[in-house]
Amino acid sequence: MIKIGITGQTGFVGTYLYNTLGLFLDEFQRIDFKKEYFENEDNLNEFVAQCDVIVHLAAMNRHDEPQVIYDTNLSLVKKLVRSLNATNSKAHVLFSSSTQEERDNLYGKSKKEGRGLMVEWANSSDGEFTGMIIPNVFGPFGHPNYNSVIATFCHKLSHNETPTIDVDGDLKLIYVGELVDYIISEIRTRKGNPEILVQHTSESKVSQILTLLEKYKLEYQDKGIIPSIDNTFELNLFNTFRCYMDIKNHFPVKFIEHTDQRGSFVEIIRLGVGGQVSFSTTVPGITRGNHFHTRKIERFAVIKGKALIQLRRIGTNEVLDFYLDGNEPAYVDMPIWYTHNIKNVGDEVLYTNFWINEFYDPRDPDTYFENV
């Protein structure tokens, strides 16, 4: 069992890494970290002493005063190095740096010098050090106006604001899930490497990204259409956009029901992408689900009976309750990293239509069980 601690555990990448490690509890043990540890030498030493691996993600990215960014980031590294030395740690330390290392700014300078301090520690100890120089990272749950331009665009569009482009440059990007997979693969090697240039997985102009996100806003958020998705980058971008929507107030979405003397007709979904459609019957009092996905797009449509659909984002406590009634057919879509279930809360059999964007593969189900 490898004991892993993450400085910056509650940040954008840290949260994703922490939750992903939770999928491998037979291999990894997570050692919890709180940012207050950097202000208490005893707490930091206790944390460091427990860890076989430390992923150092804690850093300041933005501030009105660039010198504050530089001073803060170097201070965090120096405190970590002091603790490593004080505890005689032999940990494998992985350090998150940035392609801005070579730019003429104090943030890039703080990352480059911080990586240098970690190399010095590794050379004078029995520890291992991996310095990762990382391109622009995007993905769900990042902070707008802080983590990435994509986070800012997604937040503004999903909240009916108009984003603007300051510089229409080319962005070299990596999805946070891909970065986390890379970090985990480096942890498994148990070997250091002082300078690794993490390769970007996609590249696009800012304007092209905004055009795609505007399409997702118009087709998906406004019209309920699952847009065409041509590659992995577009799937990751679409799933990112969905996580910035006001889920609590957006769902359930009522269908348009066409009725005449023969009965009724309801169009359940319009697709620009393939996948699998199924339906279930559920007897009163029974609950289905209690699992989450990390990449799949999924829609639950209640067409007969009464249902309670519940969602909870992994790592949080708030449960979102959505009550649906087949007398007014409606749907709820499942965001990634939200565990979800559906319960028959009526007196008759519940009929539910399910759509998911990929065929079920028992070798790679992307289904992780956790009670809502």
Asked if residue 162 has pLDDT above 90, the reply is yes
Greater model confidence, 310 or 63: 310
Q: State residue 261's pLDDT score.
A: 92
Cβ(311)–Cβ(339) below 8 Å: yes
Q: State residue 199's pLDDT score.
A: 97
- Reduced to 3 states (helix: H, G, I; strand: E, B; else coil), residue 212 is helix
Q: State residue 94's pLDDT score.
A: 98
Asked if residue 32 has pLDDT above 90, the reply is yes
pLDDT tens digits along 88-145 = 999 999 999 998 888 889 998 999 999 999 999 999 998 899 999 999 999 999 999 8
Q: Is residue 148 part of a domain?
A: no
Pair 278, 334 in one domain? yes
Instruction: Give how far Cα 157 sits from Cα of 208, 210, 250, 288, Å.
Output: 15, 9, 14, 33
**What's the CATH code of the domain at 360?**
2.60.120.10
Q: Is residue 154 part of a domain?
A: no
Asked if residue 11 has pLDDT above 90, the reply is yes
Q: Which of 59, 56, 110, 107 is nearest to 84 (CA)?
A: 56
Pair 39, 98 in one domain? yes
Asked if residue 205 has pLDDT above 90, the reply is yes
Pair 186, 318 in one domain? no
Q: Is residue 26 part of a domain?
A: yes
Cross-strand pairs, 353 = 279, 301
Q: Is residue 305 part of a domain?
A: yes
| φ/ψ (deg, to 5) at 354 | -120, 135
| φ/ψ (deg, to 5) at 366 | 50, 45
Pair 178, 90 in one domain? yes
Domain count, the chain: 2
Q: State residue 64's pLDDT score.
A: 84
Domain limits at 44? Answer: 2-141+173-204
Computed over its alpha carbons, how large is the radius of gyration of the chain?
Answer: 23
Cβ(178)–Cβ(210) below 8 Å: no
Q: Which of 252, 222, 254, 216 is nearest to 236 (CA)?
A: 216
Cβ(333)–Cβ(242) below 8 Å: yes
Q: State residue 260's pLDDT score.
A: 86
Query: Distance between CA atoms of 280 and 222, rounded to whole angstroms?
Result: 28
Q: State residue 63's pLDDT score.
A: 85
Least confidently predicted of 257-261, 288-292, 361-365: 257-261
Q: State residue 356's pLDDT score.
A: 97
Q: State residue 147's pLDDT score.
A: 87
Cβ neighbours of 361 (radius 10 Å): 8
Confidence of residue 150 (pLDDT cuts 50, 70, 90): very high
Q: Is residue 278 part of a domain?
A: yes
- Mean pLDDT, the chain, rounded, equals 96
Instruction: Give how far Cα 316 sits from Cα of 114, 248, 311, 319, Å.
Output: 32, 14, 11, 9
Angle between the 149-158 and 232-242 helix axes, to the nearest 10 degrees?
A: 50
Pair 309, 195 in one domain? no
pLDDT tens digits along 57-82 = 999 988 889 899 999 999 999 999 99
Query: Distance between CA atoms of 9 and 19, rounded to whole angstroms?
Result: 10
Pair 180, 253 in one domain? no
Asked if residue 183 has pLDDT above 90, the reply is yes
- pLDDT-above-70 percentage for the chain: 100
Count Cβ neighbours within 10 Å for each residue of 72-94 and write b for 16 or more, e otherwise.
ebbebbebbbebbeebebebbbb
